């Protein structure tokens, strides 16, 4: 068990095994088993009628947006259902019939709950009334909304400086809630707005901004129909963005090819049985990946450099591989990049990547002849020390091929949480933006702070050092999402007040400050009624499209408030009418709020009208090949160094991964069907030769230890599983292995924790 505090709180759940069963890893994704799992989860949590009613409304134009990932909906969603297995599981979690009230908290202390597994905590159900945990107490008690807001206002007023408060946002919050929250935080006087993006795609944002001038991807969903090659790198769409498989299927049907680059050969990229089609259900499905390159953990830069070098060789022979016209007109740094490539030998790059050369050559031959290329990626590229450079190397390849600003080509960072991109667009960020501050001044008449605030890692350090004393979270499960769990828990426990604005119970409600508040809020699928009229809000998908979302289910409790109402009420309690912003009218009237947003945010004009139906795309300079904001007004080639790990004989590189029954920190179940693991999460995937070397047999019990700057971090009791993974590499689920990731190890420039390349040792128990 991990560290405890005065309240004797466990920072992770039980280390007991739950009864593992192993099968062969799956050779395809979705199909009948996907439908079965989706219905099992929804029927169990919500009952049949509610499940059927709500599933048909999810991702429909007049319905609600899936609370799962940020993959876009087609303009004409299928009336038969536009959701995946994991979208259904996300809905089941949110709309569960299990509800918690004051009796539950009287019966179970935070100490007791903290010793439960994340799975058990999550299954406890929806929060239904505001609760407070007073100093020295171990049970939450009910509190009125008014008293809760006053308590927050009082704690905020007692701070010596606004920078002593941290305001976290998870990617579930709507554009409206996030905008209002950002406005309040700035009015309060700080930019301490860490968000979940700091822990996932921040590296993408930094790399894309520096090379292409916008921190978002450039492709639209329809580009997949026209792409000649889609490269899927460091991503597992079958589990994390399942409807992306339909886009890949369409690409294949139109003659496109898929190259997958990943240390694990995930089922979702092997074959797809589309549950929306009879042929998908009854037949063998569609083979997705044409060329699979099993790269070693964090050797993507080596592999892409190798591909670029080999492409250059062919180009020197026939002059047709690089798009010279595009390079000349739109890019800077090409000559330098070629000189940089000369420094590396093909052999060196090949050895580092660990990939079979014949397969690399096949990929090179394919890429040489095509120029409509999309590169998709996720955490497998971003969560490394060189996360920013991983993405820059992908951009280099696209620039060489002229694969930007044309149909069927471009960048595609695939976002995890459903509105993580939107929250950033509407102002959730720790850095100060001069244009945004000026627009706020013009529209709301106050000066927003110009000083940079804390991102996630630095917010945790500030709380740990007692420089920050109040922590407010608009959604999420911060302690489980962040790195270095024991350190993060201590940081939160050092606070005077922690506040969680949440739909469901999670571990962060047990790892608290001296005083803690739970403020229960409406879920995505629930009706948000004001003056007897349903309100809608908006979200932005992974491809920069803003659209509406309108809930339809009866809320879990009559005591719930919407997120904008909660934020507005905190602001009201704090300012007591003494501010230029009319918080009450903005938090109650979303139309009026959107009118203000349209005035402040670039690209949001006529937001109220345009967000209806299938919504509107935000401006994207890469689509227009406009690089005017970059040096020399050109897209930038980058010379990226090779990652160095220098492992000792007994050390491995560990990447944290999600199981198929999991979305971010939410654990839907204990299976990982595609990898053949059933009823257990405490597993470590290892190459059979590595197991042999350590004298390990299948299911032997092991501990893992990391040692950074002389500090040992340990996790206990995992089962060793022989698996198809490169030698020297390990994979294990998060959040169970988050305690191994040191708080001070994060990506250069983006500060994203190195969750995908942690150096560890393995000990047999
Ligand atoms: S692909 Fe993502 S957004 Fe779509 S239904 Fe599945 S989890 Fe939800």
Q: Which of 34-38, 189-193, 641-645, 756-760 has the lowest mean pLDDT?
A: 34-38
Mutation to probe ligand 1, out of 38, 69, 274, 276 (largest number of atoms < 8 A from CB): 69
For 708-717, what is the mean pLDDT? 97
In 588-708, beta strands by DSSP E: 616-617, 635-636, 651-657, 662-663, 666-667, 677-678, 683-686, 701-708
Task: Give the residue, by CA position, lying nearest to ligand 1 atom 8.
Answer: 87
pLDDT band at 5 (very low <50, low <70, confident <90, very high): very low
From ligand 1's centre to the CA of 407, what distance in Å? Answer: 24
172 and 218 belong to one structural domain: no
Task: Give the residue, by CA position, lying nearest to ligand 1 atom 2.
Answer: 69
Residue 220 has pLDDT above 50, yes or no: yes
Q: Which of 457, 377, 375 is nearest to 415 (CA)?
A: 377
Q: Quick check: is 16 in a domain?
A: no
What's the confidence (pLDDT) of residue 276? 78
DSSP 8-state class, residue 26: P
233 and 274 belong to one structural domain: yes
Q: Quick check: is 602 in a domain?
A: yes
455 and 503 belong to one structural domain: yes
Spell out the residues 6+ positions from residue 324 whose beta carbon is closer than 8 angstroms to its own. none
Any residues with Cβ below 6 Å from ligand 1, and which? 59, 66, 68-69, 71, 83-84, 86-87, 90, 241-243
What's the confidence (pLDDT) of residue 2? 44
Residue 218 has pLDDT above 70, yes or no: yes
From ligand 1's centre to the CA of 25, what distance in Å? Answer: 23
What's the confidence (pLDDT) of residue 681? 97
Domain boundary among 386, 413, 440: 413
Residue 670 belongs to what H/E stretch? none
Mutation to probe ligand 1, out of 35, 71, 172, 247 (largest number of atoms < 8 A from CB): 71
Mean pLDDT of the chain: 95
677 forms beta bridges with: 22, 672
What's the confidence (pLDDT) of residue 283? 78
pLDDT tens readout for residues 418-432: 899 999 999 999 999
Task: Give the residue, by CA position, lying nearest to ligand 1 atom 7.
Answer: 87
What's the confidence (pLDDT) of residue 99? 96
From ligand 1's centre to the CA of 164, what distance in Å? Answer: 37
Q: How far is CA 391 from the centre of its chain?
A: 16
From ligand 1's centre to the CA of 70, what distance in Å? Answer: 7
In DSSP notation, 336-361 reads HHHHHHHTS-HHHHHHHHT--HHHHH
For 117-140, what is the mean pLDDT? 96
Residue 4 has pLDDT above 60, yes or no: no
590 and 610 belong to one structural domain: yes
H-only helix segments in 254-299: 267-270, 278-282
Cα angle at 312 between 411 and 331, to 5 degrees?
Answer: 45
Instruction: Record the tokens describing residue 642, joined without a space.
Output: 């090779």
252 and 380 belong to one structural domain: yes
CATH classification at residue 396 = 3.40.228.10
pLDDT tens readout for residues 223-246: 999 999 999 999 999 999 999 999
450 and 334 belong to one structural domain: no
Residues 294 and 328: beta-carbon distance below 8 Å: no
- Closest ligand 1 atom to residue 90 Cα is 7
Q: Quick check: is 626 in a domain?
A: no
In DSSP notation, 464-513 reads HTTS--EEEEESS-HHHHSSSHHHHHHHHHTSSEEEEEESB--GGGTS--
Q: Which of 759, 307, 167 is nearest to 315 (CA)?
A: 307
321 and 348 belong to one structural domain: yes
Domain boundary among 617, 633, 662: 617
Mutation to probe ligand 1, out of 88, 93, 243, 663 (largest number of atoms < 8 A from CB): 243
From ligand 1's centre to the CA of 746, what distance in Å? Answer: 29
Q: Quick check: is 22 in a domain?
A: no
Q: Quick check: is 568 in a domain?
A: yes
Residue 3 has pLDDT above 80, yes or no: no
pLDDT band at 6 (very low <50, low <70, confident <90, very high): low
Q: Which of 48-52, 118-122, 466-470, 521-525 has the lowest mean pLDDT?
A: 48-52
Q: Which of 177, 74, 192 is nearest to 463 (CA)?
A: 192
From ligand 1's centre to the CA of 46, what distance in Å? Answer: 18
Residue 159 has pLDDT above 90, yes or no: yes
CATH classification at residue 96 = 3.40.50.740
pLDDT tens readout for residues 526-551: 999 998 999 999 999 999 999 999 99
CATH classification at residue 699 = 2.40.40.20
Residues 305 and 637: beta-carbon distance below 8 Å: no
Domain boundary among 575, 602, 617: 617
Residue 120 has pLDDT above 90, yes or no: yes
Residue 675 has pLDDT above 80, yes or no: yes
- Closest ligand 1 atom to residue 73 Cα is 4
81 and 170 belong to one structural domain: yes
Residue 82 has pLDDT above 90, yes or no: no
What's the confidence (pLDDT) of residue 280? 67
354 and 469 belong to one structural domain: no
pLDDT band at 52 (very low <50, low <70, confident <90, very high): confident
Segments forming the whole domain that contains residue 135: 37-199+420-549+559-617
241 and 276 belong to one structural domain: yes
Residue 37 has pLDDT above 90, yes or no: no
For 682-690, what is the mean pLDDT? 98
Q: Quick check: is 320 in a domain?
A: yes
Q: Quick check: is 634 in a domain?
A: no
Task: Give the residue, by CA position, lying nearest to ligand 1 atom 3.
Answer: 69
Q: Which of 29, 121, 245 is nearest to 668 (CA)?
A: 121
Residues 442 and 198: beta-carbon distance below 8 Å: no
Residue located via tokens 């406005």: 183
From ligand 1's centre to the CA of 92, what distance in Å? Answer: 13
- Closest ligand 1 atom to residue 69 Cα is 2
How do strand 758-764 and strand 651-657 relate by DSSP bridges? antiparallel
Residues 353 and 296: beta-carbon distance below 8 Å: yes
In 355-409, beta strands by DSSP E: 373-377
Residue 750 has pLDDT above 50, yes or no: yes
56 and 195 belong to one structural domain: yes
Total domains in the fold of the chain: 3
How do strand 758-764 and strand 729-733 relate by DSSP bridges? unpaired
265 and 318 belong to one structural domain: yes
What's the confidence (pLDDT) of residue 464? 98
760 forms beta bridges with: 652, 706
Tell me the C-alpha to C-alpha distance, in Å, between residue 79 and each of 25, 74, 75, 90, 323. 32, 12, 12, 20, 42
Q: Quick check: is 13 in a domain?
A: no
472 forms beta bridges with: 167, 499
Residues 664 and 417: beta-carbon distance below 8 Å: yes
From ligand 1's centre to the CA of 611, what distance in Å? Answer: 20
Residue 596 belongs to what H/E stretch? helix 590-600
pLDDT tens readout for residues 613-654: 889 999 999 999 999 999 999 999 999 999 989 899 999 999
- Closest ligand 1 atom to residue 86 Cα is 7
3-state secondary structure of 332: strand
From ligand 1's centre to the CA of 82, what distance in Å? Answer: 8
């Amino acid at each position: 068990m991990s560290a405890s505090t005065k309240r004797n709180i466990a920072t992770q759940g039980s280390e007991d095994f739950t009864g593992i069963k192993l099968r062969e890893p799956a050779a395809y994704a979705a199909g009948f088993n996907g439908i079965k799992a989706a219905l099992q989860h929804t029927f169990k949590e919500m009952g049949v009628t509610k499940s059927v009613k709500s599933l048909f409304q999810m991702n429909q134009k007049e319905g609600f947006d899936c609370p799962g990932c940020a993959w876009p909906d087609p303009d004409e969603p299928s009336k038969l259902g536009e959701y995946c297995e994991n979208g259904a599981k996300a809905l089941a979690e949110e709309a569960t019939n299990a509800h918690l009230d004051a009796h539950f908290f009287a019966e179970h202390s935070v100490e007791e709950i903290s010793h439960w597994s994340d799975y058990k905590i999550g299954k406890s159900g929806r929060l239904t009334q505001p609760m407070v945990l007073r100093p020295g107490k171990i049970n939450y008690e009910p509190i009125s909304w008014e008293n809760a807001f006053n308590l927050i206002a009082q704690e905020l007023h007692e701070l010596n400086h606004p920078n002593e408060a941290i305001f976290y946002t998870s990617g579930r919050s709507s554009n409206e809630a996030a905008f209002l929250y950002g406005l309040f935080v700035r009015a309060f006087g700080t930019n301490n707005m860490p968000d979940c993006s700091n822990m996932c795609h921040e590296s993408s944002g930094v790399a894309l901004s520096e090379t292409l001038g916008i921190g978002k991807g450039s492709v639209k969903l329809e580009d997949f129909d026209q792409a000649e090659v889609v490269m899927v790198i460091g991503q597992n769409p079958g589990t994390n963005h399942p409807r992306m498989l339909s886009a890949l299927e369409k690409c294949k049907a139109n003659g496109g090819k898929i190259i997958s680059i990943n240390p694990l050969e995930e089922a979702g990229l092997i074959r797809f049985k589309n549950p929306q089609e009879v042929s998908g259900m009854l037949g063998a499905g569609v083979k997705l990946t044409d060329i699979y390159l099993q790269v070693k953990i964090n050797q993507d830069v080596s592999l892409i450099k190798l591909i670029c070098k080999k492409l250059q060789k062919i180009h020197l022979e026939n002059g047709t591989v690089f798009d010279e016209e595009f390079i000349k007109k739109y890019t800077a740094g090409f000559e330098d990049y070629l000189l940089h490539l000369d420094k590396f030998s093909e052999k060196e790059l090949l050895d580092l990547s660990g990939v079979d050369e014949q397969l690399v050559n096949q990929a090179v031959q394919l890429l040489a002849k095509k120029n409509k290329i999309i590169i998709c990626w996720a955490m497998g590229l971003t969560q490394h020390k060189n996360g920013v450079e991983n993405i820059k190397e992908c951009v280099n390849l696209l620039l060489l091929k002229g694969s930007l600003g044309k149909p069927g080509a471009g960048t595609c960072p695939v976002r995890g949480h459903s509105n993580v991109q939107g929250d950033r667009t509407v102002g959730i960020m720790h850095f100060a933006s001069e244009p945004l501050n000026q627009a706020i001044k013009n529209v709301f008449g106050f000066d927003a702070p110009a000083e940079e605030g804390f991102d996630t890692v630095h917010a945790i350090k500030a709380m740990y050092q007692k420089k920050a004393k109040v922590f407010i979270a608009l959604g999420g499960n911060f302690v489980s999402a962040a790195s270095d769990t024991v350190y993060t828990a201590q940081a939160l426990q050092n606070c005077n007040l922690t506040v969680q604005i949440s739909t469901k119970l999670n571990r962060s409600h047990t790892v608290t400050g001296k005083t803690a508040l739970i403020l229960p809020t409406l879920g995505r699928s629930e009706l948000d009624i004001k003056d007897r009229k349903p309100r809608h809000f908006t979200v932005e998908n992974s491809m920069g499209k803003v659209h509406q979302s309108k809930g339809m289910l009866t809320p879990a409790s009559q005591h719930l408030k919407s997120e904008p109402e909660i934020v507005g009420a905190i602001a009201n309690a704090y300012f007591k009418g003494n501010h230029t912003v009319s918080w009450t009218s903005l938090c109650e009237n979303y139309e009026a709020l959107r009118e203000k947003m349209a005035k402040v945010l670039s690209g949001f004009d006529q937001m109220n009208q345009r967000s209806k139906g299938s919504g509107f795309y935000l401006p994207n300079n890469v689509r227009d090949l406009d690089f005017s904001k970059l040096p020399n007004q050109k897209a930038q080639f980058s010379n990226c160094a090779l990652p160095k790990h220098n492992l000792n004989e007994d050390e491995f590189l560990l990447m944290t991964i999600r199981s198929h029954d999991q979305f971010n920190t939410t654990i839907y179940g204990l299976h990982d069907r595609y990898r053949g693991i059933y009823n257990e999460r405490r597993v470590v995937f290892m190459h059979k030769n590595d197991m042999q070397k350590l004298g390990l047999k299948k299911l032997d019990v092991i501990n893992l230890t990391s040692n950074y700057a002389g500090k040992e971090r340990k996790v206990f009791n995992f089962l060793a599983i022989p698996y198809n993974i490169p030698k020297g590499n390990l994979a294990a689920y998060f959040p169970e292995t988050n305690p191994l990731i040191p708080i001070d190890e994060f990506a250069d420039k983006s500060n994203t924790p190195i969750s995908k390349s942690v150096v560890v040792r393995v000990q047999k128990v």
